[in-house]
Structure 1
Amino acid sequence: MVFSNSPDPDEIYDPAEDEDSETITQKVVGWLWFFFKLGFVFTFIAIIIITGAVIGIVKGFSEKIPIISDSSYRPNLTTQVFDCKGRLLAKLHAEENRTRILSSQEIPAHMKSAVVAIEDERFYSHYGIDIVGITRAMVKNVQAGRVVQGASTLTQQLVKNAFLTSEKTFKRKAIEAMMAFQLERKYSKEEILTLYLNEIYFGHGAYGLAAAAEIYFGKDPMALTISECAMLAGIPKSPVAFSPIKNPKNNEIRRSLVLAKMVELGFISPADYETAKSEQPAVREIQAQEFKAPYFVTYVRDQLLEKYGANLVYNGGLKIHTTLDFDLQEYAEAAMASAPIFKEYPIEKYPGLNGSLVCLDPKNGHIKAMYGGRSFEQSQFNRVTQAYRQPGSSFKPFVYAAALEEGMLPGDAVVDEYIAYTNPWTRKVWAPKNYDLKFHGSVTLMKALCRSFNIPAVKLIDRLTPAKVIRFAKRMGITAQMEPNLSLALGSGQFTPLEMASSYGVFANMGILCRPLSILKVEDRDGNVLEENLPRAKEVMKAVNAAMICDMLRTAVERGTGVRAKIPGRAIAGKTGTTNDYVDAWFNGMSPDLVTVAQFGFDMPKTLGRGKAGGSVAGPPWKAFMEKALEHYPKKDFPVPDGAVRARVCMISGKLASKGCPGNEVVSQIFPIESQPLTECRHGMSVA
């Protein structure tokens, strides 16, 4: 056996093996270091990219964020229309009815507390975004598996409603948050809360607390109780679901929740809580019609829209001061509602029968009352300004006035006799007839107008020419087109009651035309005057001639066809108008202070019935209105202008009245001094 001390080959040390192991380790470490450096580089690059992206996004958002300044908040404001005494007639608005912007001092403390309690209890501690609220909302939403709670602060809600659209995107939400921070830096909590309460929607068209307090309670905000504040504070979350009118049970539950939060947060005492909880707010009925004198208001509105455009009129918070006197407006509505013709033809059975009344101040053209129809709900067609109707004999004063302007006098005579005219083109013969189908021989102008004879009026227009009468009527303020024919003297033209009233005002105003005026002043939301309107006056006929017509028309009321409009103790002048087949009935009349026109007829022209003349149909409601309206004015006579004198004359002869003249033919009539009658009537012996 051979023994050997040589080591096992596996145990033999080989230095080359150590070198190989060290090399491998170095390589592994090298690769690890390489990957570490590479990872670091990539991480650094990623950070740069992400940072750049964030900066870019923030920059992009920032460029889209509106700059909030004191002038940025200009919410839509309701335009208000007032009568001549400052009484509110109407509120004009689009979707947002925001009546006024309240200051912090005009908002009750309990209203502020109620809103904070139910909408944003950490309002006074956050900086525009409520992190606690967001976290809590996320947890509850995850637990529920759906969105059951939001976390928008009052500041965010204000930003969303006042400055942004309702778009639901991440970008808009990010901008909303940034703007909320911006608001919190710029404004105090009190200012933000005030802005919020002026902006937020309370349902039923009410934007802002002022409108809400008015619509629901008819109150100024400072008069709201704790219970009423709680009720209002609960609405904005969901104005339909929590409406006290549409969903009163939901609203009651919500009000109780608001009160509970208020006492929990220490805004009210337990005693106040119990009192408020037991109090049931009395919500008033929502008014379907938002304005008084609707025909007048729409007439004013249409003028404003044409001049200023819809956006400013409905959203600009204008204050419109008008000429209307609401006292007189109520008298007009009552007088027309009680008109005998309307009682005979009730609106339920005869909706097509309508009427209109308009009253002006002849000294300045101010429209004091306007009744455009029986029912504004059924028809918004304004019969004062839009209905062109034949005036019948109420046009005759323009023919007689034109004759006076040509030098004729009230005592001059025209022969009332059969006369016929042949149309040169059609060869048709027209023979005008008087209402009583009689001829009256030689009659003075004053008697012919008093009795409303047709033939003398036709003879006068024939003598003057229709073209001259048309020119005169246009000078008097008539704007409608007129055909130059003889029948114009009997009212064959078509005119609106408004232009007839304005033109009659020339007689009462001693020859001065004042165009109809409805708007006195327009102010913007800041009180700057946008327009202020003065009377547009122009002399269109001689004062003495206007005074003579006034006296002739006064005689028509006292002794003639207008006797149903006579008001004892008042100087009243006027003229009836009845068209063929009794289709239209008018009474146009005046006192020294007011000129009023009343008109009746079917919207689709047809007869009112036999005997339904201007005096019997339009006279009584005209008188009923004027009796009440004139209670606001002192008793006075029509003036006697310079160069004129009043004489007691006989209507039959036109001369100074004598003892032999019948009493019903003796009148007081103005004449020019140089043309006054100097000879006495020899009544019973001669009228020459």
Structure 2
Amino acid sequence: MMKYIFGLFIIIGLVVAGWLYNLYDEIKDDVNTVINYSPKQSTQFFDKDGNLIANTFKDENREYVKYDDIPARVIESLVAIEDTQFFEHYGINPDAISRAMIKNVKAGDYVEGASTLTQQLIKMLVLSREKKLMRKVKEALLAIRLETLLTKEEILERYLNHVYFGHGYYGIKTAAKGYFNKDLYELSLKEMAILVGLPRAPSFYDPTKNLKISLARANQVITRLNTLGWINKEQYESSMKEIPTIYNQTLTKNIAPYAVDYAISQLINDIPDILYGGYKIYLTIDLDAQQIAKDALKKSYDEAVKRDINFRKNPEDDSFVKELNGALVSIENSTGKILALVGGIDYNQSVFNRAFQSKRQAGSAIKPFLYQVALNEGYNPASQLFDISRTYNYTVGGVQKKWQPKNYGGNFQGIVTLRDSLTFSRNLSTLNLVTDVGVGLTTEALKNYGFKDIVDNLSITLGSMSVTLIEFSEAYSIFSNNGTQVKPYIIDQIINKNGDNVIFEPQFKEINKPEQSYLMTSILVDVVNKGTGKGAQVPGIELAGKTGTTNNNVDAWFCGYSPSIQTIVWFGNDNNTPMRRTETGGKIAAPVFSYFYKKYMEIHPEIPRNFIKPENVYTFNVNNKEELYTDVSVIPEIDSQIIYEPSNTNEEVLEF
């Protein structure tokens, strides 16, 4: 009888063994997911000084860490509480399985598992979490196979990078930075114990929600380390008393969202996984400058809102407050590196990025380009222009119309110098200048400067073309960078998860000679010192710039630069309706520029303060005024007898 029973057991054993072999053969390749482990990783954005700006990710916020960079004490703590015999077993722990089976039989239910860390990794990456016998069998078989293909260290590296630590943190490096604002090597023993205790029930043990329970779990880890003799009495007692500081932080930590959004827009087409591919992206952004820019826009916005409230006839009409917005882009003159980019007053209220997604009319901020064309054609700052009224006849759809442009304020002076015409942004003398230089020649020059959608008529003098702040920044760099245009860029370097890097370089385009550009700079300095841009002044530094206001005050600009930094500021209503008449470039935009440079100088007092005049620019005294020239042959004779008496009845009529 015993022989039959023994034989039956042998047969059953062979059947089970055969079944296990077939099952193993069927599932053995499933471990490839673990072997070729390539998890989603957070991409990190840094400023020019290496300060973290933001994390971006898809589903899982994870920063990967190599095994060699994980402190030994973290490994010891994890093994102590989860799998003490990890370095001795071959994937499963028979002793633990036996103990668990006895407890489960006694309880009549599944109350305790016996999974090793290897089995837990298999469960996370390959199998479901169902508590079924078949899953446990597969788990054990795959764990045994995995241990023949990976080292213990490789298994731990995958485990600690993949496991969920609660609060949206995947991987122990992410959790350390999230909960404690520390790198792994900076953690105390108690902090390590908190982390390794989390994976069993991450939501329940989350220290931001249940600190007492989390500390109790950590104390179990420390007690286990002490019991095993892996820490001494002093370490045990001090760690048991410690209560670490816990941080409850957002997952992205995005402190410059408009800048990050622009950077992503530059990369997303070429690198589709840029948001979650584990890249480290170093931006040209200066976080200090970014914050100053944000504060400057908000301050001017708040003051405009106060003006609106004070002058509002209907207290219930807050449409101006709802629609008004602004943007700022600041670049390094010589390279085009973007130091600050703010696309709106409040990102939480509107993620629309007005720095690069919005095209607005340039208005009178276009004038320096028109005058630069004239300077390049032989005019000089002392050239005399006619500031007189003209009537322009034109046809639209077969209907004859008249255009009678005016200066801001309605007056005209007869004759003005080119310098004064631009300094005080006089429309009539600008129209006459462009007419004399030639509309065709001027429009071609504007296209060369980078402007698009240019119409071939005199409406260009009013800045009818639409531009983004990024485009305007590139165009204005011909002045700030001494005639050489630079392309604004925000990405300095990209490092992928394999350590390969791509470095971005400035892009240059030589357009004007430095001498010619300096003539324009000298005029734009006057704009700030005594013209329409006086609101942009900052004591102790030379600044050049131009205000810009479009018809009906729809857009307000200030575009300017110091010897080293250029800044473009825009304000307007998002729905393209007019602002109040008082909200001009000089009123609402120029103060932003002033605030930015004043505060920036406080933290960077070393920046250059004065523009340097090129050697081939000469100063001469004409009509008791000093003026600059690049060609001494065109210096005009002194003539103080020029008198012009404007007539309001005999206006010149031109066709265009």
Q: TM-score, normalised by structure 1?
A: 0.83
Partner of 2:598: 627
The equivalences for 1:605-616 within 5 A come to 605-616=576-587
Partner of 1:652: none
Q: What SS does the corresponding residue of 2:547 show, helix, strand or coil?
A: strand
The alpha-carbon distance between structure 1 residues 577 and 261, as it changes in their structure 2 partners (threshold 3 A), is same
- Which amino acid counterpart does residue 146 of structure 1 have in structure 2? D
The alpha-carbon distance between structure 1 residues 474 and 456, as it changes in their structure 2 partners (threshold 3 A), is same
Choose the corresponding residue for 2:288, options 305, 327, 334.
Answer: 327
| 1:617 Cα deviation from its structure 2 partner | 1.3
Distance 2:104 2:545 in 1: 79
The alpha-carbon distance between structure 1 residues 364 and 687, as it changes in their structure 2 partners (threshold 3 A), is farther
Asked if residue 57 in structure 1 is aligned to residue 19 in structure 2, the reply is no
Give yes or no for contact 1:130–1:151 (8 Å, CA) kept in 2: yes
Residue deviations 1:584-630, cap 9 Å, x none? 22111112211111111222233332322211211112011123334
The alpha-carbon distance between structure 1 residues 349 and 226, as it changes in their structure 2 partners (threshold 3 A), is farther
The alpha-carbon distance between structure 1 residues 648 and 343, as it changes in their structure 2 partners (threshold 3 A), is farther
Distance 2:239 2:9 in 1: 62
| 1:54 Cα deviation from its structure 2 partner | 4.8
Asked if residue 673 in structure 1 is aligned to residue 641 in structure 2, the reply is no
Asked if residue 355 in structure 1 is aligned to residue 317 in structure 2, the reply is no
Distance 1:422 1:178 in 2: 90
| 1:299 Cα deviation from its structure 2 partner | 0.7
Residue deviations 1:457-494, cap 9 Å, x none? 2223334454543332232133x423334222112222
Asked if residue 81 in structure 1 is aligned to residue 45 in structure 2, the reply is yes
Structure 1: which 5+ residue stretches go unaligned? 1-35, 650-655, 659-665
Give yes or no for contact 1:362–1:506 (8 Å, CA) kept in 2: no
Give yes or no for contact 1:512–1:538 (8 Å, CA) kept in 2: yes
Distance 1:485 1:588 in 2: 24
- Which amino acid counterpart does residue 539 of structure 1 have in structure 2? E
Give yes or no for contact 1:355–1:601 (8 Å, CA) kept in 2: yes
Choose the corresponding residue for 1:455, options 428, 437, 440.
Answer: 428
Distance 2:9 2:215 in 1: 59
Give yes or no for contact 1:81–1:319 (8 Å, CA) kept in 2: yes
Distance 2:522 2:379 in 1: 15
Asked if residue 511 in structure 1 is aligned to residue 469 in structure 2, the reply is no
Q: What SS does the corresponding residue of 1:510 show, helix, strand or coil?
A: coil
Q: What SS does the corresponding residue of 1:429 show, helix, strand or coil?
A: strand
Partner of 2:654: none
Q: What SS does the corresponding residue of 1:427 show, helix, strand or coil?
A: strand
| 1:675 Cα deviation from its structure 2 partner | 3.9
Partner of 1:231: 194
| 1:431 Cα deviation from its structure 2 partner | 0.5
Give yes or no for contact 2:542–2:611 (8 Å, CA) kept in 1: yes
Q: What SS does the corresponding residue of 2:617 show, helix, strand or coil?
A: strand
The alpha-carbon distance between structure 1 residues 330 and 617, as it changes in their structure 2 partners (threshold 3 A), is same
Give yes or no for contact 2:447–2:454 (8 Å, CA) kept in 1: no
Q: What SS does the corresponding residue of 1:219 show, helix, strand or coil?
A: coil
Residue deviations 1:69-92, cap 9 Å, x none? 6xx343333222122222222222
Distance 1:371 1:513 in 2: 22
Asked if residue 314 in structure 1 is aligned to residue 275 in structure 2, the reply is yes
Asked if residue 140 in structure 1 is aligned to residue 112 in structure 2, the reply is no
Distance 1:471 1:678 in 2: 28
Distance 1:140 1:228 in 2: 32
Asked if residue 539 in structure 1 is aligned to residue 493 in structure 2, the reply is no
Asked if residue 296 in structure 1 is aligned to residue 259 in structure 2, the reply is yes
| 1:51 Cα deviation from its structure 2 partner | 6.6
Q: What SS does the corresponding residue of 1:358 show, helix, strand or coil?
A: strand
Distance 1:477 1:360 in 2: 17
| 1:448 Cα deviation from its structure 2 partner | 0.8
| 1:212 Cα deviation from its structure 2 partner | 0.9
Partner of 2:62: 98
| 1:498 Cα deviation from its structure 2 partner | 1.7
| 1:547 Cα deviation from its structure 2 partner | 2.0
Distance 1:143 1:242 in 2: 28
Give yes or no for contact 1:367–1:516 (8 Å, CA) kept in 2: yes
Partner of 2:228: 265
The alpha-carbon distance between structure 1 residues 411 and 238, as it changes in their structure 2 partners (threshold 3 A), is same
Give yes or no for contact 1:648–1:657 (8 Å, CA) kept in 2: no
Choose the corresponding residue for 1:476, options 435, 446, 449.
Answer: 449
Give yes or no for contact 2:382–2:627 (8 Å, CA) kept in 1: no
Q: What SS does the corresponding residue of 1:577 show, helix, strand or coil?
A: strand
Give yes or no for contact 2:55–2:251 (8 Å, CA) kept in 1: no
Partner of 1:5: none
Partner of 1:21: none
Q: What SS does the corresponding residue of 2:169 show, helix, strand or coil?
A: coil
| 1:143 Cα deviation from its structure 2 partner | 3.0
Choose the corresponding residue for 1:618, options 573, 589, 597.
Answer: 589
| 1:95 Cα deviation from its structure 2 partner | 2.2
- Aligned sequence identity (%): 35
Q: What SS does the corresponding residue of 1:615 show, helix, strand or coil?
A: helix
Distance 1:166 1:431 in 2: 78
The alpha-carbon distance between structure 1 residues 207 and 45, as it changes in their structure 2 partners (threshold 3 A), is closer
- Which amino acid counterpart does residue 282 of structure 1 have in structure 2? T
The alpha-carbon distance between structure 1 residues 160 and 53, as it changes in their structure 2 partners (threshold 3 A), is closer
Give yes or no for contact 2:28–2:142 (8 Å, CA) kept in 1: no
| 1:174 Cα deviation from its structure 2 partner | 4.8
Distance 1:68 1:248 in 2: 33
Residue deviations 1:200-240, cap 9 Å, x none? 21112222221111100111222222222222122111211
Asked if residue 600 in structure 1 is aligned to residue 571 in structure 2, the reply is yes
Structure whose CA Rg is larger: 1
Residue deviations 1:17-72, cap 9 Å, x none? xxxxxxxxxxxxxxxxxxx9xxx9x9999999877655433322234442876xx3
Distance 1:256 1:48 in 2: 47
The equivalences for 1:182-581 within 5 A come to 182-287=145-250, 290-310=253-273, 313-339=274-300, 340-341=303-304, 344=307, 350-425=321-396, 426-478=399-451, 480-529=452-501, 531-581=502-552
| 1:151 Cα deviation from its structure 2 partner | 1.8
The alpha-carbon distance between structure 1 residues 185 and 471, as it changes in their structure 2 partners (threshold 3 A), is same
Distance 1:609 1:67 in 2: 63
Q: What SS does the corresponding residue of 2:204 show, helix, strand or coil?
A: coil
Give yes or no for contact 2:43–2:57 (8 Å, CA) kept in 1: yes
Q: What SS does the corresponding residue of 1:420 show, helix, strand or coil?
A: strand
Q: TM-score, normalised by structure 2?
A: 0.87
Residue deviations 1:626-654, cap 9 Å, x none? 23334354435434446x323245xxxxx
Structure 2: which 5+ residue stretches go unaligned? 310-317, 645-656
Distance 1:677 1:407 in 2: 11
The alpha-carbon distance between structure 1 residues 105 and 599, as it changes in their structure 2 partners (threshold 3 A), is closer
- Which amino acid counterpart does residue 329 of structure 2 have in structure 1? V
Partner of 1:6: none
| 1:400 Cα deviation from its structure 2 partner | 1.3
Give yes or no for contact 2:61–2:251 (8 Å, CA) kept in 1: no
| Higher mean C-alpha deviation, range 113-122 or range 297-306 | 113-122
| 1:521 Cα deviation from its structure 2 partner | 1.6
Choose the corresponding residue for 1:164, options 123, 126, 131.
Answer: 126
The alpha-carbon distance between structure 1 residues 289 and 184, as it changes in their structure 2 partners (threshold 3 A), is closer
Give yes or no for contact 2:67–2:153 (8 Å, CA) kept in 1: no
Give yes or no for contact 1:590–1:596 (8 Å, CA) kept in 2: yes
Aligned pairs, number: 624
Partner of 2:90: 127
